[in-house]
Chains A and B, each alone.
Chain A
Amino acid sequence: MNWVGLWTIIKRENLRTIKVINQVIWPPIISSLLYILIFGFSLGKNFQVGDVSYLAFLVPGLIMMNIIMSSYEESSSSLFLGKFINYIQELLVAPLSYLELVIGFLFGSIIRSFVIANLILIVFMFFVDINIHSIWLYLFFMIFVSIFFACVGLIVALWADKFDNLAILNTFFITPLLFFGGVFHSIILLPEFFQKLSLFNPLFYMIDGFRYSILGTSDLSIIYSIIVVVALAVVSFMFTAYLFKKGYKLKT
């Protein structure tokens, strides 16, 4: 195991995040704040979801939305840019295993998501009274969802031939699934058909489970969310590792 090499990749990914801080760290915090101010304070001030205020209900959904977005964007843009201007070759010719490469990129995504999620949480704490129900579940969902979306980002970056390709998944899949996955609403409020349809949306389990970790309340049992998130993270990790091992679109 090349520990120094792995640590260097992680350091490099973090350095990249710092260098583009105005592009990747501040925008999600500001946009989350705007959501809270507009949806929480104005539209939802007299609205309860179950036993919690709408404002508190929004917090986990918005944080999870940013975990998903940032982990996908970090891994996909970092790897694709590496392919695009060829600096990925520095890593491919070095004595680094395919697993070290994948883990290095994943850590970059997890750390970025972790920083963004917790900064948003800190900002929200000024507006909403939040007591995290389970810190372990909070960390569990943050890490495993980041792993899954970082892997999805890597897979898309491997497949992509142009920057435009990276936006396809974000625009046509992630964003709609996020909005239908319960960021802004509880599925209990939906008609029965749409409630059942929501159960096929993997992002619903991520948001619902994360909401439980913060508020202690969820639409489904937490066990379902844990199973879905672990299964997705494991399968996506194995598939990503397989593609790196094969050198899919990395090696000729």
Chain B
Amino acid sequence: MKAISIKNLYKSYPGVDAIKGISFDIEEGDFFGFLGPNGAGKTTTINCIIGLAQFSQGNIEVFGKDVKKDYMEARKFIGTSPQEYNFDPYLSIADVLIYQAGYYGIKKKDVMPKVEELLKQFKLDGKSEVDFRKLSGGMKRRLTLARSLVHDPKVLILDEPTAGVDVELRIELHNYLKKINKDGKTILLTSHYIDEVEKLCDTICIINEGKIIANEKTKNLLDRLDDGHTEIITDKVSKKIDLDCVEFNKNKILVWNRGKHHLKEVFAHLQKQNIKVIDIKTVKDSLQNIFLRLTKK
């Protein structure tokens, strides 16, 4: 089942085409990384899904419910954690969660066990009556996440959920997100921490200038575009052999990580010619480098 399905989405602002006909699907249970440079269209796409932006063309469905025609049903499936804090200034921490559940049609008496569980989970249980303005940045971030989960949504949309939090909390949040994803929640994550996306996400979609430029399983993307390689320096110049992703350059041989890794065959080939290896160097690539290469103008 598709958790989110976007078809041919266009969104324009006066003088700017923010989204230029994008299409992609997020499968139920997927941990989906949505990447792009600033202004690429990530938040606009998310806003189209959750109902904060009106799109001129295209179609978005959440678990088969059209976000325009069946918006009441579609929204019940979604929990959103926005980039900016947007808490109601008149509510205490516990009330933020209770009122949020109320807006989703859940009565206070029915949601209280969940509220207590989330406050405990996010280490806010001692702060339930406190005004949110008195919370630290990390606590506010945890409250945002708790609020997005209070109505038990099937899809969680997280826009920069770890922005401005310390390393310890980031690791805690990563572990928690992995756990709830394993338990069945579909997660759409945007983040400027590419290592975070690489570590957490099964699928990665990259948007640039309103267009999708990559959308595939994280492993496939890394395999396909990985520029990491092993550099072998030999005492003599080797004869060339016809192998994918192997480059001979005088007494330097580059064996690229992407595709089938041919290191074993290269060593066998060198041994056959009685060529000695003087030095070996591994050059790693990362999703961050791939991202920069794909999105650079």
Return the CB mask of A1-15 against B: 1 if under 8 Å, else 0: 011110111011001
The reply on A171 being an interface residue by CB < 8 A is no
B52 touches A90 (CB 8 A): no
CB pair B106–A4 under 8 Å, yes or no, is yes
Q: Mark B27-71, 1 if CB is under 8 A from A, else 0.
A: 000000000000000001001001111100000000000000001
Q: Smallest Cβ distance from A250 to chain B, in angstroms?
A: 8
Please judge, given known A-B contacts A9-B103, A95-B76, A95-B105, whether A90 and B88 are in contact too, CB under 8 Å.
yes
The 10 closest A-B pairs by CB, nearest first: A8-B102, A94-B103, A86-B86, A95-B75, A95-B72, A87-B88, A4-B105, A252-B53, A93-B50, A16-B90
Interface residues on A, range: 20 to 34
Contacts of B88 in A (CB 8 A): 12, 87, 90
A93 to B89, CA, bound (A): 18
Interface of A is mostly: helix
CB distance from B184 to the nearest CB of A (A): 21
A95 touches B54 (CB 8 A): no
Nearest CB of chain A from residue B112's CB, rounded to whole Å: 14
Interface code A60-92, partner B: CB below 8 Å = 1, 0 otherwise?
000000000000000000000100011101111
Number of interface residues, chain B, beta carbon within 8 A:
31
With both beta carbons as reference points, the residue of chain A lying nearest to B79 in the complex is identified as A93
Q: Which residues does chain A contribute within 8 Å of B76, judged by CB atoms?
A: 95
Residues on A with beta carbons closer than 8 Å to the beta carbon of B75: 93-95
- Over the window 95-108 of chain B, the binary record of Cβ atoms lying under 8 Å from chain A Cβ atoms (1 yes, 0 no) is 00001101111110
- Known contacts A8-B99, A93-B52, A252-B47, A2 near B84 by CB under 8 Å: no
- B54 touching A252, Cβ below 8 Å: yes
Compute how far the CA of A8 lies from the CA of B53 in the bound complex, rounded to whole angstroms.
Answer: 24
A252/B90 in contact, CB under 8 A: no
A-side residues, CB < 8 A to B, are 2-5, 7-9, 11-12, 15-16, 19, 81, 85-87, 89-97, 247, 251-252
Contact B86 A90 (CB under 8 A): yes
The 10 sampled A-B contact pairs (Cβ below 8 Å) are: A2-B105, A7-B102, A11-B99, A12-B91, A15-B90, A85-B86, A87-B87, A90-B86, A94-B104, A247-B54
Pick from B13, B44, B52: contact of A89, CB below 8 A: B52
Complex Cα distance A3/B107, Å? 10
